[in-house]
């Protein structure tokens, strides 16, 4: 059988019977070609959308949840309902120490501030942050650096500002790092400029200053605005959220069933739903693609079956000349597989062209809908393997049909 | 060469069956040229099909070149057909998308010969029927007589013991028929054994022996004085 596959005559026979019946062969191929083109095109586009999502969220620790204090909705241990709840640094510390699966807890504070430099000024949100923020909410720094531990330890008056603010209070092309700006009347030295991401998850701030400095100038004491909790990838962020909230209620003397005391935004949950949607889309793509492919292969089977009927006489002649039934079957199966593979390769190539076209029209620039719309080699191989297997199976039907007719009846056929 | 004893064959038609061959005895020696005659329904084609291993008898003995032809699987039948027999059909049965040479070489493909051998042998036989310069032509570009000569070359290609011709001149005009018969006579002169089914008296007279069938039995089996086709051509 192996020798047969490498025999020139085998392919000569296949080539003859296909090339001498061009229209028939081409019509046969269209179905499979279309199926695999759809599969590649759809899978590539789905991948492109996924890539663009990943690019948007890539700088973000997605397995995270924000928790902030609100006011109680239930009286508990002598406290009236409606008690104002404020989180504190020790809350954050306790959560970090006691809740399982936590990677980071980042306490944050935020307030509005009046910012000015020379004659230019504006109101912006000011956040007091730890260096850790850079790990969970990666800042794309264009110039300078983010806050470090030194800044915290020494309560330095330094600020990392957004590109937007830079544009508003600095002259064009003016160097900003090292310059002073005034925040609420106090001089701060600019140490970095960051670029705003495409998508802002959770509250965003225009200016980051060291947490300790923020505490001082806004007189916050131990209180914090909210905490951002990041879970390790293998832990369920919803469980972490529930555990953390229960612990916080316990420490702050709040009824365990109080739903209003803490507000939260579970980024992991939201992100999970989005990736779930992508997964669904990918599944749908595979489903549609493979279904189309199967339909295409069935079309090949159908046309080959008609072809075999048309070629009954030829098959009869071949058998009268000494072709064994096995040789006839083998011939037809090889033809079927050959057609499927050629059509499949054609489909893969045209699918590739479509992806290139999609990339050219939708895949350029930062705001691209499709990023690197492509399929992996393994997808191509899987598709080809499916084609070969289906082609063989579908080829068997006309093959058995061809030899089920006795040669004498085949010869009599006009 | 060919021995047939008490051959019976019937075809089922609905609930009953049609007894087509009712005990045929036929012995053909090597080098004979036999015409099998009979009106339609006499069983002559059935007999030829059984001899050609395209069909199987219900009972009786059939020996070809000292090999008993019995209980054939499709595969064995194919091998025997390829080794022992050359077929010539009324409607030529050339494969229309293969050129003359490829058609002639086809039985050699199933014999497992390599490409070069097939080309050589195919050309040799095509030259024998005088159509070497038509080797690259498709059947549709050939006349009826030429097609039949290609078919004869194809039947000869595998060097069979026995040539079976089913109405070889049935689709040809008289002049072309005689040309074909002249050629078949030449083959016989060279020692080939031929069995020709025909219903035309003039064709039968060009053979050396005429077997007449009627209603499934042999009515007459006699040697005849061969009329040479060359005198009409």
What is the predicted pLDDT for the residue at A199? 52
The residue of chain B with its CA nearest to that of A326 is B75
What is the predicted pLDDT for the residue at A198? 53
Q: State the Cα–Cα distance between residues A106 and A376, nearest whole angstrom.
A: 38
Mean pLDDT of chain B, nearest integer: 91
pLDDT tens string A94-127: 888 888 888 888 888 888 888 888 878 888 888 8
Indicate the pLDDT class of residue A137, thresholds 50, 70 and 90: confident
Least confident stretch, A188-192, A302-306, A323-327: A302-306
Structural domains of chain B, with CATH = 30-57+73-231 (3.40.50.300)
pLDDT tens string B180-202: 999 999 999 999 999 999 989 99
The residue of chain A with its CA nearest to that of B157 is A321
Q: State the Cα–Cα distance between residues A149 and A145, nearest whole angstrom.
A: 12
What average pLDDT score do residues A57-83 get?
78
pTM for the predicted model, two decimal places: 0.69
For A263, the 3-state DSSP assignment is: strand
Within a 10 A sphere around the Cβ of A135, how many other Cβ atoms? 14
The residue of chain B with its CA nearest to that of A9 is B115
Can you read off the two tokens belonging to residue A197?
Answer: 């991401």
The residue of chain B with its CA nearest to that of A328 is B110
- B93 vs A13, A21, A313: nearest CB: A313
What is the predicted pLDDT for the residue at B209? 95
What average pLDDT score do residues A269-293 get?
82
- Asked if B3 and B65 touch (Cβ cutoff 8 Å), the reply is no
Strand partners, A312: none
Beta-carbon separation of A322 and B78 below 8 A: yes
Interface mutation target, options A12, A318, A322, A327, chain B, most CBs of B under 10 Å: A322
Which has more confidence, A312 or A199?
A312
On the question of pLDDT at A200 being above 60, the answer is: no
Complex confidence, ipTM = 0.90
Beta-carbon separation of A318 and B110 below 8 A: yes
Q: State the Cα–Cα distance between residues A209 and A212, nearest whole angstrom.
A: 9
Beta-carbon separation of A411 and B110 below 8 A: no
Can you list the residues of chain B whose pLDDT is less than 70? none
Considering only CB atoms, which chain B residues are within 8 Å of A17?
97
Within a 10 A sphere around the Cβ of B232, how many other Cβ atoms? 15
Pairs across A and B, CB distance < 8 A:
68
Q: Where are the alpha helices (DSSP H) in A154-266?
A: 163-169, 211-218, 237-251
Phi, psi at residue A187, to the nearest 5°?
A: -80, 130
- Asked if B14 and B72 touch (Cβ cutoff 8 Å), the reply is no
- Class of residue A39 by CB neighbours under 10 A (exposed 0-12, middle 13-18, buried 19+): buried
Q: Which residues contact residue B206 at a Cβ distance below 8 angstroms, ignoring those fewer than 6 apart? A: B35, B181, B185, B226, B227, B228, B229
- Asked if B215 and B198 touch (Cβ cutoff 8 Å), the reply is no
On whether any CB of chain A is under 8 Å from the CB of B109, the answer is yes
pLDDT tens string A308-339: 888 888 888 998 888 899 988 988 888 888 88
What is the predicted pLDDT for the residue at A232? 82
């Amino acid at each position: 059988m192996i020798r047969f596959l490498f025999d020139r005559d085998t392919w000569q026979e296949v080539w003859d019977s296909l090339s001498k019946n061009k229209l028939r062969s081409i019509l046969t191929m269209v179905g499979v070609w279309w199926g695999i083109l759809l599969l590649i095109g759809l899978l590539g586009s789905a991948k492109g959308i996924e890539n663009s999502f990943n690019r948007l969220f890539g700088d973000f620790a997605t397995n995270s949840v924000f928790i902030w204090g609100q006011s109680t909705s239930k009286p508990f241990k002598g406290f009236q309902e409606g008690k104002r709840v404020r989180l504190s640094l020790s809350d954050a510390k306790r959560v970090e120490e006691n809740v399982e699966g936590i990677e980071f807890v980042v306490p944050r504070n935020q307030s509005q501030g009046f910012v000015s430099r020379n004659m230019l000024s504006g109101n912006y949100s000011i956040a007091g942050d730890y260096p850790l923020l850079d790990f969970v909410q990666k800042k794309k720094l264009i110039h300078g650096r983010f806050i470090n531990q030194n800044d915290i330890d020494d309560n330095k008056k330094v600020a990392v500002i957004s590109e937007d603010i830079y544009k508003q209070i600095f002259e064009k092309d003016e160097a900003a790092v090292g310059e002073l700006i005034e925040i609420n009347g106090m001089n701060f030295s600019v140490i970095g400029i960051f670029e705003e991401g495409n998508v802002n998850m959770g509250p965003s701030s225009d200016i980051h200053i060291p947490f300790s400095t923020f505490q001082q100038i806004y007189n916050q004491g131990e209180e914090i605005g909210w905490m951002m909790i990041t879970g390790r990838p293998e832990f369920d962020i919803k469980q972490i959220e529930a555990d953390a909230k229960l612990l916080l209620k316990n420490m702050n003397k709040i009824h365990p069933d109080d739903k209003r005391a803490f507000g939260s935004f579970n980024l992991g949950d939201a992100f999970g739903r989005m990736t779930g949607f992508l997964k669904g889309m990918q599944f749908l793509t595979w489903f549609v693609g493979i279904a189309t492919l199967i339909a295409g292969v069935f079309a090949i089977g159908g046309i080959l079956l008609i072809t075999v009927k048309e070629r009954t006489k030829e098959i009869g002649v071949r058998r009268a000349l000494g072709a064994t039934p096995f040789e006839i079957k083998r011939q037809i199966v090889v033809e079927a597989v050959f057609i499927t593979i050629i059509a499949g390769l054609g489909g893969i190539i045209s699918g590739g062209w479509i992806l290139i076209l999609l990339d050219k029209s939708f895949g350029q620039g930062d705001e691209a809908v499709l990023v690197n719309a492509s399929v992996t080699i393994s997808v191509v191989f899987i598709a080809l393997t499916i084609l070969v297997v289906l082609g063989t199976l579908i080829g068997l039907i006309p093959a058995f049909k061809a030899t089920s007719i006795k040669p004498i009846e085949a010869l009599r056929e006009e | 060469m060919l021995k047939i004893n008490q051959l019976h064959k019937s075809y089922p038609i609905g609930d009953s069956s049609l007894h087509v061959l009712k005990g045929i005895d036929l012995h053909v020696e090597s080098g004979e040229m036999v015409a099998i005659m009979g009106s339609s329904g006499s069983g002559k084609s059935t007999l030829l099909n059984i001899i050609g291993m395209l069909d199987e008898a219900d009972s009786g003995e059939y020996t070809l070149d000292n090999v008993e032809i019995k209980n054939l699987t499709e595969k064995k039948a194919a091998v025997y057909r390829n080794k022992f027999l050359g077929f010539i059909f009324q409607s030529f049965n050339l494969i229309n998308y293969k050129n003359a040479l490829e058609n002639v070489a086809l039985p050699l493909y199933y014999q497992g010969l390599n490409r070069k051998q097939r080309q050589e042998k195919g050309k040799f036989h095509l030259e024998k029927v005088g159509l070497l310069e038509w080797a690259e032509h498709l059947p549709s570009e050939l006349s009826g007589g030429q097609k039949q000569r290609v078919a004869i070359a194809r039947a000869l290609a595998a060097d069979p013991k026995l040539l079976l011709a089913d109405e070889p001149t049935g689709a040809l005009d008289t002049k072309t028929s005689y040309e074909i018969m002249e050629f078949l006579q030449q083959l016989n002169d060279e020692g080939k054994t031929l069995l020709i089914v025909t219903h035309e008296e003039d064709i039968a007279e060009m053979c050396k022996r005429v077997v007449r069938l009627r209603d499934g039995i042999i009515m007459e089996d006699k040697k005849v004085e061969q009329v040479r086709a060359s005198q009409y051509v």
